[in-house]
Amino acid sequence: MNVIVCIKQVPNTTQVRINPETNTLIREGVESVINPFDMYAIEEGIRLKEKLGGKVTVLTMGPPQAEEALKEAISLGCDEAVLLTDRNFAGSDTWATSYVLSQAVKKIGDYHIILCGKQASDGDTAQVGPGISTHLNIPQVTYVKKIEEINDKKARVERMTEEGFEIIETPVPCLFTVVKEINEPRLPSLKGKMRAKKAEIRKMTAEDLNCDFDKIGLDGSPTRVVKIFTPPARKGGEILKGDIQEIVERLAKELKGEI
Amino acid sequence: MSNILFTEEQKMVQELTRKIAREKIAPVAAEYDEKEEFPWPIVKILAESDIFGVYIAEKYGGMGGGVFEMAIATEELSWGCGGISLAFAATGLGTFPIILFGNDEQKKKYLTRIAKGTVAAFCITEAEAGSDAGSIKTTAVKDGDHYILNGTKQWITNGGEADIYTVIAMTDKKKGARGATAFIVEKGTKGLDFGKKEKKLGIRGSATREVIFTDCRVPKENVISKEGMGFIVAMKTFDYSRPGVAAQALGIAQRALDESVKYAHERKQFGKSISSFQGIQFMLADMAIQVEAARAIVYRSAQIVDAGEKNIAKLSATAKTFASDVAMKVTIDAVQIFGGYGYMREYPVEKLMRDAKITQIYEGTNQIQRGVIAASLIKELKQK
């Protein structure tokens, strides 16, 4: 079972700050980490390899320092790492990014499953995973919380929905985006860290990937960010306390709009 | 302290054990302290992260570090919990006799398992043989290809949980200390049983138990070094393990300092954070000075041991005594800075104070350590 895991390096914070002038993320002064949701994709990839053999290739598009994220993935047990880095990629939106990643997947070849986290903690779009599968024209299942069965022909997975879950069977190769319910990511090992230190990270540019230059970077991105703003914080609910009879009556009145 | 002088490997050990301590150990420390259970889930994490092999040679599956790497790991893990860290640190105590005196077969057989996360324990203390280790009553009588062990060991850290026990027993009582021999005994050996589980003041996330030998037959291949070397094996083991105890004390002390600084900054009285009061500032500064001095001596002693210095008893004893006295002092100060909250179990510092106390007592009380240091001083004078 050959697995490709797509990851993103993100700022290590839940309080993302936006530059109001450029409408882009402020990355300065914030430590970078692997997108937390991608950690579940990495873990699931490693588990598939441990169970079924094969290898796990981890893939990211980003600036040269994204190499650190790939090395961390290797320290956890991924076998190979590919960094897509090129000034021409700068400014890519989710469509252009997923195009570049899909070109890399084609270049790497020989895979059964592509795994992605359900979304990135900075942009929160949840679009790149599905975008990759669309560019590759392979099936996708989003919000996967369990891989029930998998072989080189087909897979059966549980997919989380708001109401519960669906069981979906899909041909392989295919792409899954995973939710945190799928597993508990491991910590790196010392031997893994040493392997990561020595690991060669393959680097690829737009040219290496035979990218159509009209489809990448800021100019190749159809998205235009017009404005970014912080929505007003939600007001907390009210907890009714006291005698059960009284609070039920009060609740009923509130619901009827009598108060 | 800056880790700028560390090798890449040492930085990795520090980084990983720090991550484990912060993410996996510290959040459950109070729970293990309360329940007094052995932290098997943490042992599993440490094993999977290769931490058990930090001080074991590469050819036996370890990462090839020494006492210094072990001290770095022990310090970080003890920051998370001074009790839970003992699953790792006391395994080291049980392992050093094999590392220092074991033959190649013993090393191959046992060190490879320990590097993968098998817990070990060292059995020397008895009810009437504490600081006076020469008065051990456990006996080992030769019977063909075996030795038959009888006796009861007391307060054995990792007792009952460990799979591998290194045991000091008397093969010839008439010879006193020179009649002691070290053995490796595996859990499951007939005649090896476990007695009373101790209820302790601190380090309650560690197991402390009686280990009982009743006509326990141990093959002669399991003798470490040779007959009569038991006392030397034990003393040399302590020389190597004392920087580890010192590192445990250091981790506890660093935690006390970190918690105190954080709390003093958050706690407001008279309309200001208490860290703005000079009385508190001086306490924090004194704590920091002591912790940093302890770290300097712990790291240095561990590095000197690793560099192969032969006469290390005085230095090891100095590191252990100083770091454990510092841990006691700064944890008491931490409780003081927290005030009433510090006395409550809801806050982490009273536990640090309870955990710190043992480091002044075990692996040789600090009085015994001072005796060792004084004896070395006098010996050095006579050699001049």
What is the per-residue pLDDT across B26-55, written as a single tens digit (0 to 9) for each?
999 999 999 999 999 999 999 999 999 999
DSSP classification of residue A171: E
Between these two residues, B178 and B73, which has the higher pLDDT value? B73
pLDDT digits (tens, 9 = 90+) for A71-88: 999 999 999 999 999 999
Cα–Cα distance, A207 to B330 (Å, whole number): 60
Mean pLDDT of the B96-109 span = 97
ipTM above 0.90, yes or no: no
CB pairs under 8 A between A and B: 35
CA distances from B128 to B136, B180, B182, B368 (A): 7, 16, 19, 16
pLDDT digits (tens, 9 = 90+) for B227-238: 999 999 999 999
DSSP classification of residue B310: S
Report whether the peptide linkage leading into residue A173 is cis, meaning its omega lies within 30 degrees of zero: yes
What pLDDT score was predicted for residue A241? 87
What would you report as the CA-atom Rg of chain B, rounded to the nearest whole angstrom?
A: 21
What pLDDT score was predicted for residue A14? 67
Any idea which residue has 């991105």 for tokens? A221
Judged by CB atoms closer than 8 Å, whether chains meet at A187 and B51 is answered as no
Instruction: Give B1's pLDDT tier (boundaries 50, 70, 90).
Output: low
Residue of chain A minimizing CA distance to B18: A187
Domains of chain B (ranges, CATH numbers): 8-119 (1.10.540.10), 121-228 (2.40.110.10), 231-383 (1.20.140.10)
Mean pLDDT of the A166-170 span = 97
Cα–Cα distance, B49 to A125 (Å, whole number): 34
Judged by CB atoms closer than 8 Å, whether chains meet at B9 and A194 is answered as yes
Residues of B in contact with A190 (CB under 8 A): 12-13, 16, 49-51, 53-54, 63
Judged by CB atoms closer than 8 Å, whether chains meet at A188 and B53 is answered as no
Cα–Cα distance, B251 to B20 (Å, whole number): 14
Domains of chain A (ranges, CATH numbers): 3-256 (3.40.50.620)
Q: What is the pLDDT of chain A when averaged over all its residues?
A: 92
Give the rounded percent of residues in chain B with a pLDDT score beyond 70.
100
β-pairing, A24-25 vs A18-19, is antiparallel
Cα–Cα distance, B345 to A15 (Å, whole number): 32
Q: What is the pLDDT of chain B when averaged over all its residues?
A: 96
Q: Is position B363 annotated as part of the catalytic site?
A: yes
Cα–Cα distance, B236 to B244 (Å, whole number): 14
Cα–Cα distance, A46 to A187 (Å, whole number): 12
Query: Looking at CA atoms only, how far is residue A199 from chain B in angstroms?
Result: 15
pLDDT digits (tens, 9 = 90+) for A169-216: 999 999 999 999 999 999 999 999 999 999 999 999 999 999 999 999
Residues of A in contact with B51 (CB under 8 A): 190
Any idea which residue has 């994490």 for tokens? B45
B261 at interface of A, judged by CB pairs closer than 8 A = no
Query: Looking at CA atoms only, how far is residue B48 from chain A in angstroms?
Result: 6
A154 at interface of B, judged by CB pairs closer than 8 A = no
Give the rounded percent of residues in chain A with a pLDDT score beyond 70.
97
pLDDT digits (tens, 9 = 90+) for B225-277: 999 999 999 999 998 999 999 999 999 999 999 999 999 999 999 999 999 99
Residues of B in contact with A192 (CB under 8 A): 50
Between these two residues, A26 and B354, which has the higher pLDDT value? B354
What pLDDT score was predicted for residue A237? 83
Instruction: Give A231's pLDDT tier (boundaries 50, 70, 90).
Output: confident
Give the rounded percent of residues in chain B with a pLDDT score beyond 90.
94
Instruction: Give A259's pLDDT tier (boundaries 50, 70, 90).
Output: confident
Other C-beta atoms within 10 Å of B41: how many? 11
Among candidates B101, B89, B71, B102, which has minimal Cα distance to B303?
Answer: B71
Judged by CB atoms closer than 8 Å, whether chains meet at B50 and A190 is answered as yes
CA distances from B350 to A250, B39, B138, B286, B289 (A): 46, 20, 37, 19, 21
pLDDT digits (tens, 9 = 90+) for B179-220: 999 999 999 999 999 999 999 999 999 999 999 999 999 999
What pLDDT score was predicted for residue B91? 97
Among candidates B34, B15, B13, which has minimal Cα distance to B23?
Answer: B15
What pLDDT score was predicted for residue B134? 75
Q: Which two tokens stand for residue B380?
A: 């050095």
What pLDDT score was predicted for residue A15? 67
Q: Is the pLDDT score of A162 beyond 70?
A: yes
Between these two residues, A258 and B312, which has the higher pLDDT value? B312
Q: Contact at 8 Å (CB) between A81 and A58?
A: yes
β-pairing, A32-34 vs A9-11, is antiparallel
Residue of chain B minimizing CA distance to A198: B8
Helix or strand or coil: residue B148?
Answer: strand
Q: Residues with Cβ < 8 Å from B284, sequence gap 6 or more?
A: B257, B260, B261, B264, B275, B337
Query: Looking at CA atoms only, how far is residue B77 from chain A in angstroms?
Result: 15
